[in-house]
Structure formats: C-alpha cells, structure tokens
Chains A and B, each alone.
Chain A
Amino acid sequence: DADVTQTPRNRITKTGKRIMLECSQTKGHDRMYWYRQDPGLGLRLIYYSFDVKDINKGEISDGYSVSRQAQAKFSLSLESAIPNQTALYFCATSGTRGANEQFFGPGTRLTVL
C-alpha cells in the first residue's frame, strides 16, 4: 500500500462549489503539507502542519483552508472554487530526522469549470 494517499485522484467541479481534498499517510510523520503545481511555476506551498495542533499558511493560502483531523490525516478545502484553482494538488509528509525529505502523494487533478 502507498505510504501517502490522496482522494479523489481526479475531480471536475463548477465555479462556486465547495471541494475537499483528502490526504492520509501511514509513515507516522508529524509534518504534512499541501502544494499546488501549475505548469512553469513548480510546486507552491498552500498550507502546512507540523503537528495536529499546528496549522500554518504557506505562500498561496488565499481561497483555501485546511483541517488536520489526526496525525495521519490532512484535508484541503476550497470553500468556493474558482477556475484559476484548476491545478494538480499534492499532499506531502516529512519526518524530523535525517534529510527531512518530503514524501509526496500521487496527486489530485482538479478542474474548476
């Protein structure tokens, strides 16, 4: 089984709809992150959480909110989706030892019409 999973993998929605993207991990990591990827812009950090009670805004948090339901679960919500939120969304986790490398989920491709 994959260590970091994301649901759904693909979603098409309409402008103004509320959308939730979910992320679960079995790596036992405290740190979790949400990124969006757009062509030519790399990966941009939306929100991050270093433990269950710690939530922080990243570079581009406007229009998004998150919930850390448990150590293993971190959800990203778009309260009222707009077309420029069409992107590939990745969840990632990291530990606190060694290189602190990030482990990414498979991604959710979101299209807002």
Chain B
Amino acid sequence: GQQVMQIPQYQHVQEGEDFTTYCNSSTTLSNIQWYKQRPGGHPVFLIQLVKSGEVKKQKRLTFQFGEAKKNSSLHITATQTTDVGTYFCAGPLGTSYGKLTFGQGTILTVHP
C-alpha cells in the first residue's frame, strides 16, 4: 500500500545547530503537509506544499517539495529549545482528497 517514510526517527542537536528531516513517498503526491507535535501535545499544522520543486519558508523553517513530488524536507536553521517536538509529514491517502497518511515522525531534541 501507499507509504510515507520519514527519516531520521530521532535527532539530537545542540542549540544553534541545524536540523533536517526527510520524507519519502512510494507514490507521487498531489501535495504534502507538515505538522509539529510538542511533547505532551497534539499535532499542529505547519504548512502545505503543492507544486513540484516548491520551497516555502517560515522564519527559520524551510520546506521543500521534490521535483517528482515524491519527497519533501523540513530544515530548521539554528535550532532553539522551542523547536523540540515531533515533526510529521503527511500526504493524501489514496485518491480521496482529505485523508492523510502520516510519516512515522522525527523526534527532535535540542540541548541548551
């Protein structure tokens, strides 16, 4: 079945270092969404990418959608302790718009 794989599963960084998580799909995606879940919290939507090769920035966060629309990445520049949490990518499940299949998530720990 359709799968969205995310790596790494864990990432420990020192505050100020950069961080990247990668998402790969077994099929072409019409769009990809990214969510952040703080420890003890619930997932919160960050952004959606739709176009091939699209790059979007939110302050220190840079999101990319691959040319083939089968992979995506989230890069955080100069991490801060407020960046800790789990980052999920999610793509449409099957052909029905509205259902999502989530990657396994990357748990980011930032050491001060």
List chain A positions with a Cβ less than 8 A from chain B.
31, 33, 35, 40-45, 48, 50, 58-59, 90, 92, 94, 96, 99-107
Query: When the two chains form their complex, are residues A45 and B99 in contact, meaning their CB atoms are under 8 A apart?
Result: yes
Main secondary structure of the interface of A (DSSP, over half): strand
Q: Taking the nearest CB of chain A, how far is it from the CB of B65, in angstroms?
A: 13
- Taking A99-B45, A105-B42, A106-B42 as contacts, is the C-beta distance between A40 and B104 under 8 angstroms? yes
Interface size on B, residues (CB 8 A): 24
Hey, which chain A residues are within 8 Å of B35, CB to CB?
102
Q: Taking the nearest CB of chain B, how far is it from the CB of A4, in angstroms?
A: 8
Hey, which chain B residues are within 8 Å of A106, CB to CB?
41-42
Query: When the two chains form their complex, are residues A104 and B43 in contact, meaning their CB atoms are under 8 A apart?
Result: yes
Query: When the two chains form their complex, are residues A104 and B42 in contact, meaning their CB atoms are under 8 A apart?
Result: yes
Query: When the two chains form their complex, are residues A90 and B43 in contact, meaning their CB atoms are under 8 A apart?
Result: yes
B61-100 vs A, CB cutoff 8 Å, 1 = contact: the mask equals 0000000000000000000000000001010010001111
- A-B contacts, 21 of them at CB < 8 A, read A40-B104, A42-B102, A42-B103, A43-B102, A45-B93, A45-B101, A48-B98, A48-B99, A50-B98, A58-B93, A59-B101, A90-B42, A90-B43, A92-B43, A99-B48, A100-B48, A102-B45, A104-B43, A105-B42, A106-B42, A107-B42
Name which of A31, A42, A99, A102 has the most chain B CB atoms within 10 A of its CB: A42
Q: Is B25 an interface residue (CB 8 A)?
A: no
Q: Taking the nearest CB of chain B, how far is it from the CB of A104, in angstroms?
A: 4
Hey, which chain B residues are within 8 Å of A107, CB to CB?
42
- Taking A31-B98, A100-B98, A102-B100 as contacts, is the C-beta distance between A40 and B9 under 8 angstroms? yes
Report the separation of the CA atoms of residues A99 and B48 in the bound assembly, to the nearest whole angstrom: 6
Name which of A33, A90, A92, A99 has the most chain B CB atoms within 10 A of its CB: A99
